[in-house]
Structure 1
């Protein structure tokens, strides 16, 4: 089942990375209220991962969704990182992969493993953490992270022989409905699409298709995905927060050139009476290859903003000016192109 078919009617999903205490320690009640707010605003697609707070996001999401009927929502999580019972001390966490992002998450140690056995164990562990009987979509997570350096192709090869094959079998057996890669780089998706033996149903691309960064994805990935009807779920539409009033870009403090770019977009948005969140979400969804967008939220009010942004009417003149000012690529599909 293609991702577009699986997510039909669910163009606005909910990304749960913030529920793993990304950047701040979120009170439990606030986390639960945020998921409840998403549900009340019609969200029926929820994406999570073991990496988010070393299982904390999965645990919290499972608690919140336990009150809902399982057939009424779509659930995706990820494989590629195993959570160990071993606990890291504070100094190890400060130096490790979780530093900065999920320093306030659970202290359990994470290991990268894309093998067949690890994939099966990861899915089983996620089911237990979320207290659910099934996962609809499984993404192979962060297979080409920058911290892998030039070694990412070796991780990809392990996944090709391990996770790819296991997830294909689980889909054929009806255990899961769909699988693909969940990454923040274009290259592994392009490589996967070129593999004759791999038949993924779609991809989750985080941060690489947004108002601030989309040209590489437009070169080859988006056209090929649209041609194959292999839907793209876009994560990070606000570019780690800088497009939603925050200060982060690519999970770090935004550099001066990005801040300047955002200010130019904001100035045009203000001139046309457009909300920056509305522009960010509607730009993403204008691409025919995109099946859904999954902004993250850590407060109920943020979810309400996302839902309102999706419905906001944006004048054609705004999009024309972005294109004229070269703030979006000339070949980027825009909502105005559909009018």
Structure 2
């Protein structure tokens, strides 16, 4: 599996990453054995980049991921987590978390992008994972907190990076404009871009992607299936797009893209995974994987060669933007070597 460095840092990530939100019981319970098996399958598939966050299952994802990786050689993999949501005791628990995770709500999330909040969050994550360090730390969804996130949190992370406590730093969001600001105005090395450079949404070409390319910084792409609409060979009504029911027009467009994929001998999900790599600043695509079967499917999709003519046809038919780069990144004819 191909690997690329995060910006000018020594941190190197595999082209496919393991997103650990779902093993934090996102939307439904994931049995502990399934979570363990998924992480083991990812390792066997050659995945060496694993992403988690305190937000995911109120710490459950971090605990499960740390336990599964603890016996692996620490220098053999890269792990990222996030800051900005401290976990604190919940004085008024209702029994189950109200933010999408099927876990007890004995804890609650508290927004905090202060220097002390960042340091406390990282310390808590290390305790939950049982690991000795984090390789990448992202600011998590700082949309409403730019001033504190850019003015306090990012300088705190930069200090830890400069002390070699952390390898790389950045921010992760569902929008691209503010991510471009983080790359241009702060010490960020990398951004985690959710859903804004996909077969259905190339808005990141207006801001964060050219900024990353200009500055020699990096992008990790997540949400490449746009909440599910691009995850099947044949999209159907009732599937999700950006966490909501997809409109009829979006389903029709996804089907049109799927038909072009089929004409080129590939599938919509395989093209969806490959597409972010059309931009040279994209170093990784990370996917949520709940079971070993999910890992096997995604690893196989990632291995499939995507004919370059597919992107040309999609441009000509107006199904993707005309300014989508023609190549699959530097040195990539279809997949990383």
Report if TM-score (shorter chain) is over 0.5. Answer: yes
Select which of 163, 173, 176 maps to 2:163.
173
Counterparts of 2:119 and 2:195, CA distance in 1: 28
Measure, in 2, the Cα distance between the counterparts of 1:105 and 1:91.
8
Contact persistence 1:14–1:46 (CA under 8 A): yes
2:19 to 15, 22, 25: 15
Match of 1:147 in 2: none
Distance 1:176 1:9 in 2: 15
Q: Decide whether aligned partners of structure 1 residues 336 and 129 sit closer, same or farther in structure 2, where only a CA change above 3 A counts.
A: closer
| 3-state SS of 1:244 partner | coil
Q: Among 257, 273, 276, which residue is 1:281 paired with?
A: 273
Counterpart position of 2:6:
3
In 2, are the aligned partners of 1:13 and 1:292 still within 8 Å (CA)?
yes
Q: Within 1, Cα distance between the matches of 2:240 and 2:213?
A: 30
For these two proteins, the number of residue pairs brought into alignment is: 321
Q: Does residue 57 of structure 1 match 2:61?
A: yes
Q: Which residue of 2 aligns with 1:149?
A: none
> Which residues in structure 2 correspond to 1:211-222 (within 5 Å)?
211-214=199-202, 216-222=203-209
Query: Aligned partners of 2:104 and 2:52: how far apart in 1?
Result: 15
1:295 is paired with a residue whose SS is strand
Contact 1:55 1:106 in 2 (8 A): no
Distance across 2 between alignment mates of 1:222 and 1:177:
22
1:66-77 equivalences in 2 (<5 Å): 66-77=70-81
Runs of at least 4 residues off by over 6 Å: none
Stretches of structure 2 that go unaligned for 5 or more consecutive residues are none
Secondary structure at the residue paired with 2:113? coil
CA distance in structure 2 between the aligned counterparts of 1:319 and 1:84, rounded to whole angstroms: 47
Alignment of 1:17-166 (within 5 A): 17-86=21-90, 88-90=92-94, 93-94=97-98, 98=99, 101-102=100-101, 104-107=102-105, 108-144=107-143, 152=144, 155-166=145-156
Deviation of 1:278 after TM superposition, in Å, equals 1.3
CA RMSD of aligned residues (A): 2.1
Q: Is 1:242 aligned to 2:242, yes or no? A: no
Q: Per-residue displacement from partner, 1:315-336 (whole Å, max 9, x unpaired)?
A: 3342222111111110112447
The answer to whether structure 1 residue 261 and structure 2 residue 253 are counterparts is yes
In the aligned structure 1, how far is the partner of 2:184 from the partner of 2:313? Answer: 36
1:282 and 1:335 in contact (8 A); partners too: no
Measure, in 1, the Cα distance between the counterparts of 2:244 and 2:195: 13
The alpha-carbon distance between structure 1 residues 92 and 57, as it changes in their structure 2 partners (threshold 3 A), is closer
CA contact (8 A) 1:2 1:201 kept: no
Indicate the residue corresponding to 1:228 in structure 2. 215
Q: How far apart, CA to CA, are the structure 2 residues paired with 1:71 and 1:264?
A: 44
Do the aligned residues in 1 keep the contact of 2:176 with 2:207 (CA within 8 Å)?
no
Displacement of 1:125 in angstroms is: 0.5
Structure 1 residues 6 and 251, CA gap change in structure 2 (3 angstroms): farther
Relative to the length of structure 1, the TM-score reads 0.89
State the secondary structure of the residue aligned to 1:159. Answer: helix
The CA deviation at 1:2 is: 6.4
Instruction: Report the Cα distance in structure 2 between the residues aligned to 1:272 and 1:282, rounded to whole angstroms.
Output: 14
CA distance in 2, matches of 1:233, 1:11: 9
2: CA distance, partners of 1:326 / 1:283: 16
Task: Identify unmatched segments of 5+ residues in structure 1.
Answer: 145-151
Which residue pairs with 1:326 in the alignment?
318
